[in-house]
A and B are shown apart, each in its own frame.
Chain A
């Protein structure tokens, strides 16, 4: 795994500056644009309006209309623009607003961006970054709430990152832009306003390197994106009962750092994987299979998966709440694993 610039450590006294997730993304993007003249941004309402989620605020003022481009509602042409420009040496950042909209431009992502380098015998690379907002929790219903990382992680040639907080949002965005491959940055809608400590200088977080968000000896919880926060809360709850949960944030789901997960499984002997996407065919299945393959003899229980039921995302808040995994379900999952041995 290539290590890009190491992320700087945070001030140990907790005095480091805090930023919201969306501001951290914005800062990382602006710094990457300053660093490399070839980086430009295209998408619907990204320039004049600053993005419907405020992701691109103030960038038009600094970078002007040459590098901040408002496009028509034409997602296939938008991603294709990114692919062609990337093949010619630029570093496009194209925004798809809601992740669900990849449905109308999947060909450009899956059949074009992902495969160009391979099909061309390695003679070209596609340093394209696709930014988008995923996830349920805002009552945005079935066509505006999906977590489709498994679709993309399944495609050789693509990379997919899922930042869980402001710090990782900035670092993963910078790394995605610096990376020479097509990378999809899945921001989580519910996290946009959440704050955490974010260093001011530009930094990248290595793609394909998992982060141990909390150390523990009894159960490993591998949590994707927004589920990291839920897992950490669950870990606190269980700590009060003397159960030490290790929480692993893969940060990147393609490439996936299974080594860190397998090592943890060997230490704790129990593993739970949790993601927002539907359980069936989700990343949890892949992670569980890899852990069982490499650490079967160390496991006291089969790897457990928690995800959404096999249904579109419901609108009604009462159903949506029951649909998305949360702290309580993670706690119950951990208890089930502990009862097994």
Chain B
């Protein structure tokens, strides 16, 4: 059998200066924050059909992890997937057009908020079924190794999702096959309206990794730099063939489980929300950058403004985009 050449691509992530990294993390977080708050406004204005699970508050996790990845690295996401998609680089135009159900959207208007993907960027989709993306990432990691590529796969999921069988089966599978996959649990303390303390008896979800012989680390999910360094280490291990790793990021979502507004049933207190907002990931990064001189206020403001402009343009694009043609109802049900 012919010896195959190993296909290894250069790592653009390595050798970044810390100032570059800070600006990168900032930009990714700002993009998510603004994408999401605008989407929330559109939903409240009755312009978007379907469900909208907003990611605001958890930006540091998507930004920190994605800044440690290359374009050919694969991710799988959840019902709360916009943040991952934005951070992986999926275009605002494709995302808003999808939320509007337009044919120019990321899923040609067929998938909606919960299924946004861009396979050219290794974004293997948000997912409407809790936990379903986890085994898929294991499969993507398997494919990378099979093809002798050095890309890795990262799977994002919530605390609640680790109660589902697919998580446990996939974690064990990844561990015994020593696959290049990173498990990222975004522990925002709630599964829908159920607090973590009522759906599991452990405090640290990371404890679950030990059952499969998988190393784990717990990070402050409001600190993008901390998330990034944990992710960079896990990704490097995986790329080097040392197998999977589990990262638990303790974080928080500011908006409701679904939609924007507060709820009839107070499953968490306003004070709790405010406490977490006081440690906002973007504020934290900006304050640090300004204090240590890695960025100026003007530079940071410029990022906000450029992103705002880009979002306004993308929304206009989405609104002006055509609807799907009902004659194409059977498009893409099968391949080829």
Contact = CB atoms under 8 A, between A and B. Distances in A.
A123 interface: no
A97 to B, nearest CB: 9
B333 A316 contact: no
A103 B109 CA distance: 24
Interface residues of A, number: 37
Contacts, number: 128
Interface string A208-219: 000000000000
A315 B113 CA distance: 9
A75 interface: yes
A70 B329 contact: no
B322 to A, nearest CB: 10
A50 B192 CA distance: 12
Interface in A2-58: 44-45, 48-50, 52
A317 B129 contact: no
B112 A141 contact: yes
A333 interface: no
Given A49-B265, A72-B160, A144-B128, A315 B107 contact: yes
A316 B109 contact: yes
Contacts of A318: 101, 323-324, 326
B194 A48 contact: yes
Contacts of B323: 316, 318
Q: Tell me the dominant secondary structure on chain A's binding face.
A: loop
Contacts of B102: 316
A143 B129 contact: yes
A101 interface: yes
A319 B329 contact: yes
Contact of B163 (A73, A315, A319): A73
A138 interface: yes
Contact of B194 (A44, A77, A312): A44
A194 B329 CA distance: 29
Contacts of A103: 129
A311 B160 CA distance: 30
A138 B50 contact: yes
Interface in B92-128: 98, 101-103, 107, 109-112, 114-115, 127-128
Given A309-B330, A311-B329, A49 B267 contact: yes
A263 interface: no
A167 interface: no
B252 to A, nearest CB: 19
A317 B48 CA distance: 10
Contacts of B267: 48-49
A315 B128 contact: no
B60 to A, nearest CB: 24
Contacts of B51: 139-140, 144
Given A49-B267, A141-B114, A315 B193 contact: no
A142 B199 CA distance: 27
Contacts of B49: 138-139, 315-317
A203 interface: no
A77 B131 CA distance: 15
Given A73-B191, A316-B324, A322-B326, A141 B128 contact: yes
Interface of A: 44-45, 48-50, 52, 70-77, 100-101, 103-104, 138-144, 309-312, 314-319, 322-323
Interface of B: 49-51, 98, 101-103, 107, 109-112, 114-115, 127-132, 160-161, 163-166, 191-194, 198-200, 265, 267, 323-324, 326, 329-330, 333
The 7 closest A-B pairs by CB, nearest first: A316-B101, A143-B128, A139-B49, A139-B50, A315-B112, A72-B163, A316-B109
6 contacts: A44-B194, A72-B160, A138-B50, A141-B111, A143-B128, A314-B329
